[in-house]
């Protein structure tokens, strides 16, 4: 029996081989060819892995050939292990079906490389198919594997996808040729639309999970951002995960599904508990309005909600998990709030509280509010994250902490936990592929819609200062998007804002929209959110402020990489943040209050307090400067708007929204010398590390964690250098004078 370590190593090797072969097989003949090679080095007792890329050229042709031959060896070793351990032990050889697909990739890759034989041969013009590695691989496959392999199940899976993605992708090439003249004309006009038509997702972006929403969104002409070859590669890699799970190494989905179940069950119970009396009364009256379609849809949604509250031990009795039943509840709710009858009752509300329409609207509005404000971070998720971190710490080289430190700072502990999680969560590395396939196979999901993808909003903590209690929410973009150039705000979010307006006294929601409004990927979502706050029905109860966290200026890359002069940088900072064309958008009242005078004063105090008024700022210092400026700007906006609830909203409220939310929490704790309790530390780790795992099956993006942790280091070092009392006095005397309230001294409550 193979050991766990050997089996995991084998898994990652064969997956990397598939990626290399898929990349080569997918190349067009007029495209440059490159292969990547993984290296392992040790620096100060810390193992570091990296990849080098070898582009096809005469001077490194031998290296390219060497990497490809190594890939063939990996596949051959895998085939031998498979034949030795698996053949004869299973009634069905599903893995053999996948192996045949790998061999087709081997053939396609070899054929593509032979097209460039004048480079690869270095004068001999030998074919890669004549190499020893290729011939041995092919011979073993034909002799041992081919007799038991067939590809029908994979082909059938592709043909029966419930969306038309495969059909669309096969038509893309012809459609592009037909539109060639039109595309050329559009490109001459300088528009982005023509460029978008040529954008396709690759396997790396699927693995990295950076653009997964593009699997669900269509281009403007109705075609897809992926093709049949990519879909095959995704399914193939996913199949290998399933194969290794069958070996008993680890079921990478069971724990994640259990956490998702707990979150869905907790949310369902919150809704049911808060509205139990209304639900009971409604169910008693249900027989009297059985002929009312709107009322019966609500009845079905209530049944699904109640089933979602059941304990996991009853799974054998129930047909679905809590996650599945809660998804049904949401789909029934979506169908209800988008129906003509519901919209008519919202537009012309009934005054008779005994009328069916009144009861439906009242109960649905209650459901929606609790859906957005529920406490649904389970204790099980905290335990799950801690277990992965503990497992990873056994593999992380322990570094000695400086002797002068009484205890490790917050930034050190977070960095250590994040590094440990990179090891502990390794078995989950290909879960995003399975997430993509699950979404493609869901008949009830059309387009990118976080709410229907079970990315459920929640209340996180409250920010209290004299006269105000502000709920800090987790809110993915409350939009639905079928086409890249069109998006709309979901009816659930509109219902949530309507509910705020009907309360006594009425309430207000502030959304910090952290999506990139200058990017074709997110422009449509930004526009519909910003437009909603200008509508008469919502303008007094919703405020949307768009702040980019993904531009060249924010990252200090491109033309801003050498912007070292502090005075020029500060001038550019104010110019960018105050200008709408650079990715920022503020309602006029807020813009007038902030720019330019207040913003310049804030930047000057940040420069003096945190960066000792240095004339030259490095790129990393400028990035920290921007992060501190953002935080203090957000606090001022909260003071000006005086909302009852806020959210740091991005595409999925994970990689940008969660670090931004945690930064706010950590920053207010640090500047007020309030140590975090163990409960608060665990909760923040769940937000940063646990949510990306259960929702996307991966870690928080490293660049986002690094940016947040770098900010914490700057604040910690500034406090250490000055001493906490002197720091707090300087902070109050300088930055504190820019605020009209005690918001900088706000207390935080989970």
Instruction: Mention every residue, 6+ apart, whose C-beta is less than 8 A from residue 294.
Output: 336, 339, 341, 342, 345, 356, 357, 360
- Tens digits of per-residue pLDDT, 596-620? 999 999 999 999 999 999 999 999 9
The backbone region for 472, taken as left when phi is positive above 0, alpha when psi lies in -120 to 50, beta otherwise, is beta
Task: Using alpha carbons, list the distances in angstroms from residue 413 to 7, 261, 407, 409, 520.
Answer: 31, 29, 10, 7, 37
Blockwise average pLDDT, block size 10, the chain, 750 residues: 47 67 62 48 40 49 74 82 63 56 75 63 64 84 67 50 44 43 42 55 73 89 80 66 44 76 93 95 88 93 94 59 93 95 89 83 95 90 91 74 64 93 81 75 77 94 95 97 96 96 93 96 96 96 97 95 96 93 94 96 98 97 98 98 98 97 98 96 95 91 96 97 96 96 96
CB 746 within 8 A of CB 668: yes
Question: Count of alpha carbons within 13 Å of 137, Cβ hemisphere only?
Answer: 27
Give the CA radius of gyration of the chain: 28
Q: How many Å apart are CA 275 and CA 370, to the nearest integer?
A: 9
The phi, psi pair for 406, rounded to 5°, reads -70, -35
CB 97 within 8 A of CB 153: yes
Q: How many Å apart are CA 537 and CA 500, to the nearest integer?
A: 11
Instruction: Mention every residue, 6+ apart, whose C-beta is less than 8 A from residue 209.
Output: 432, 435, 696, 697, 698
Q: How many Å apart are CA 577 and CA 598, to the nearest integer?
A: 13
Predicted local confidence at residue 147, as pLDDT: 66
Predicted local confidence at residue 187, as pLDDT: 40
Task: Using alpha carbons, list the distances in angstroms from residue 601 to 176, 585, 615, 734, 736.
Answer: 53, 20, 17, 9, 11
Q: How many Å apart are CA 474 and CA 263, to the nearest integer?
A: 14
**Element (H or E) spanning 132, and its range?**
helix 132-140
Q: How many Å apart are CA 426 and CA 518, to the nearest integer?
A: 34
Predicted local confidence at residue 176, as pLDDT: 43
- Tens digits of per-residue pLDDT, 674-714? 999 999 999 999 999 999 999 998 899 999 999 999 999 99
CB 479 within 8 A of CB 447: no
Chain-centre distance for alpha carbon 743: 30
Which tokens belong to 729? 């006095």
CB-CB neighbours of 616 under 10 Å: 9
Chain-centre distance for alpha carbon 744: 30
Nearest to 368 by CA among 340, 344, 334, 345: 334
Q: How many Å apart are CA 382 and CA 540, to the nearest integer?
A: 38
Which tokens belong to 750? 């989970």
Which tokens belong to 457? 């909003």
Nearest to 79 by CA among 269, 291, 240, 318: 240
Question: DSSP letter at 275?
Answer: T
3-state secondary structure of 203: helix
Flag whether the pTM goes above 0.85: no
Which tokens belong to 280? 């009971």
Question: Count of alpha carbons within 13 Å of 611, Cβ hemisphere only?
Answer: 26
The phi, psi pair for 686, rounded to 5°, reads -65, -40
Give the angle 353-358-359 at the CA atoms, nearest 5°. Answer: 90
CB-CB neighbours of 84 under 10 Å: 11
Q: Are strands 46-55 and 34-43 parallel, antiparallel or unpaired?
A: antiparallel
- DSSP annotation string for 247-264: TTS--TTHHHHHHHHHHH
Which tokens belong to 537? 């029905």
Q: Identify how many contiguous H helices and E strands the chain contains and give both numbers.
A: 32, 10
Predicted local confidence at residue 39, as pLDDT: 43
**Element (H or E) spanning 715, and its range?**
helix 702-722
User: Residue 313 class from Cβ within 10 Å (0-12 exposed, 13-18 middle, 19+ buried)?
Assistant: exposed
CB 479 within 8 A of CB 487: yes
Question: DSSP letter at 350?
Answer: -
Q: Are strands 542-546 and 509-513 parallel, antiparallel or unpaired?
A: parallel
CB-CB neighbours of 213 under 10 Å: 22
Predicted local confidence at residue 320, as pLDDT: 81
Q: How many Å apart are CA 121 and CA 62, to the nearest integer?
A: 8
Maximum CA pair distance of the chain?
Answer: 90
H, E, C per residue of 344-363: HHHHCCCCCCCCHHHHHHHH
Q: How many Å apart are CA 321 and CA 257, to the nearest integer?
A: 9
Q: How many Å apart are CA 32 and CA 113, to the nearest integer?
A: 11
The phi, psi pair for 544, rounded to 5°, reads -120, 125
CB 651 within 8 A of CB 521: no
Q: How many Å apart are CA 337 and CA 313, to the nearest integer?
A: 33
Predicted local confidence at residue 86, as pLDDT: 62
The phi, psi pair for 649, rounded to 5°, reads -100, 125
Q: End-to-end CA distance of the chain, in Å? A: 48
Q: How many Å apart are CA 716 and CA 710, to the nearest integer?
A: 10
Q: Are strands 509-513 and 486-489 parallel, antiparallel or unpaired?
A: unpaired
H, E, C per residue of 442-502: CCCCCCECCCCCCCCCEEEEEEEECCEEEEEEECCCCEEEEECCEEEECHHHHHHHHHHHH
Q: Long-range pairs for 52-58 at CB < 8 Å and ≥24 separation?
A: 56/32, 56/116, 56/119, 56/120, 57/119, 58/119, 58/122
């Amino acid at each position: 029996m193979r050991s766990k370590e050997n089996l995991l190593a084998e898994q990652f090797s064969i997956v990397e081989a598939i990626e290399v072969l898929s990349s080569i097989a997918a190349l067009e003949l007029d495209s440059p060819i490159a292969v990547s090679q993984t290296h392992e080095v040790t620096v100060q007792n810390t193992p570091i892995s990296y990849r080098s890329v070898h582009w096809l050229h005469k001077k490194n042709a031998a290296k390219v050939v060497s990497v490809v031959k190594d890939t063939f060896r990996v596949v051959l070793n895998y085939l031998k292990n498979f034949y030795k351990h698996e053949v004869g032990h299973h009634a069905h050889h599903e893995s053999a079906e996948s192996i045949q697909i790998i061999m087709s990739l081997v053939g396609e890759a070899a054929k593509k490389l032979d097209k460039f034989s004048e480079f690869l041969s270095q004068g001999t013009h030998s074919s890669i198919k004549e190499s020893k590695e290729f011939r041995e691989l092919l011979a073993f496959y034909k002799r041992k594997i081919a007799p038991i392999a067939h590809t029908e199940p994979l082909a059938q899976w592709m043909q029966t996808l419930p969306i038309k993605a495969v059909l669309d992708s096969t038509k893309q090439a012809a459609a592009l040729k037909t539109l060639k003249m039109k595309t050329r004309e559009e490109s001459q006009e300088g528009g982005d639309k023509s460029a978008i038509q040529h954008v396709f997702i690759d396997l790396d972006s699927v693995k990295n999970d950076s653009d997964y929403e593009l699997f669900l969104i269509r281009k403007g002409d109705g075609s897809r951002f992926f093709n049949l070859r990519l879909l095959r590669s995704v399914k193939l890699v996913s199949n290998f995960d399933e194969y290794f799970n069958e070996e008993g190494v680890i079921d990478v989905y069971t724990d994640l599904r259990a956490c998702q179940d707990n979150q869905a069950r907790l949310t369902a119970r919150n809704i049911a508990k808060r509205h139990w009396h209304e639900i009971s009364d409604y169910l008693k009256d249900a027989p009297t309005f059985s002929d009312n379609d709107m009322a019966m849809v609500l009845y079905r949604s209530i049944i699904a909600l109640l089933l979602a509250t059941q304990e996991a031990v009853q799974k054998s009795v129930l047909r679905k998990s809590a996650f599945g039943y809660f998804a049904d509840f949401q789909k029934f709710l979506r169908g209800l709030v988008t129906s003509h009858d519901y919209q008519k009752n919202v537009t012309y509300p009934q005054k008779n509280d005994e009328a069916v329409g009144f009861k439906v609207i009242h109960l649905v509005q209650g459901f929606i509010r609790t859906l957005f404000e529920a406490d649904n971070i389970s204790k099980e998720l905290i335990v799950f994250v801690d277990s992965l971190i503990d497992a990873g710490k056994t593999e992380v080289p322990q570094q000695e902490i400086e002797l002068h430190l009484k205890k490790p700072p917050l930034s050190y502990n977070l960095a250590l936990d994040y590094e440990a999680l990179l090891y502990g969560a390794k078995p989950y590395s290909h879960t995003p592929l399975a997430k993509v396939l699950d979404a493609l196979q869901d008949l009830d999901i059309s387009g990118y819609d976080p709410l229907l993808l079970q990315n459920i909003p929640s209340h996180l903590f409250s920010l209290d200062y004299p006269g105000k209690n502000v709920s800090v929410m987790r809110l993915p973009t409350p939009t639905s998007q079928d086409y890249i150039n069109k998006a709309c705000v979901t009816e659930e979010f509109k219902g949530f804002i309507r509910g705020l307006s009907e309360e006594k006294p009425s309430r207000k929601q502030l959304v910090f929209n952290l999506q990139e409004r200058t990017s074709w990927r997110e422009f449509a979502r930004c526009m519909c959110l910003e437009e909603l706050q200008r509508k008469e029905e919502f303008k007094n109860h919703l405020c949307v402020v768009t702040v980019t966290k993904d531009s060249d200026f924010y990252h200090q890359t491109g033309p801003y990489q050498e912007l070292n002069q502090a005075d020029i940088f500060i001038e550019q900072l104010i110019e960018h943040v105050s200008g709408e064309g650079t990715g920022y958008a503020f309602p006029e009242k807020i813009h007038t209050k902030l720019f330019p005078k207040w913003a310049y004063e804030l930047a000057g105090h940040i420069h003096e307090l945190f960066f000792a008024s240095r004339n030259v700022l490095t790129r990393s210092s400028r990035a920290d400067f921007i992060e501190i400026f953002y935080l203090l700007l957000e606090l001022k906006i909260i003071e000006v708007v005086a909302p009852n609830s806020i959210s740091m909203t991005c595409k999925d409220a994970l990689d940008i929204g969660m670090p931004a939310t945690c930064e706010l929490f950590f920053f207010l704790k640090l500047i007020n010398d309030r140590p975090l309790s163990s409960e608060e530390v665990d909760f923040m780790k769940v937000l940063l590390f646990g949510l990306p795992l259960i929702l996307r099956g991966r870690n928080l993006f490293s660049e986002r964690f690094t940016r947040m942790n770098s900010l914490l280091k700057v604040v910690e070092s500034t406090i250490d250098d000055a001493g906490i009392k002197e720091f707090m006095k300087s902070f109050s005397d300088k930055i504190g004078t820019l605020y009209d309230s005690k918001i900088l001294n706000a207390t935080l409550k989970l």
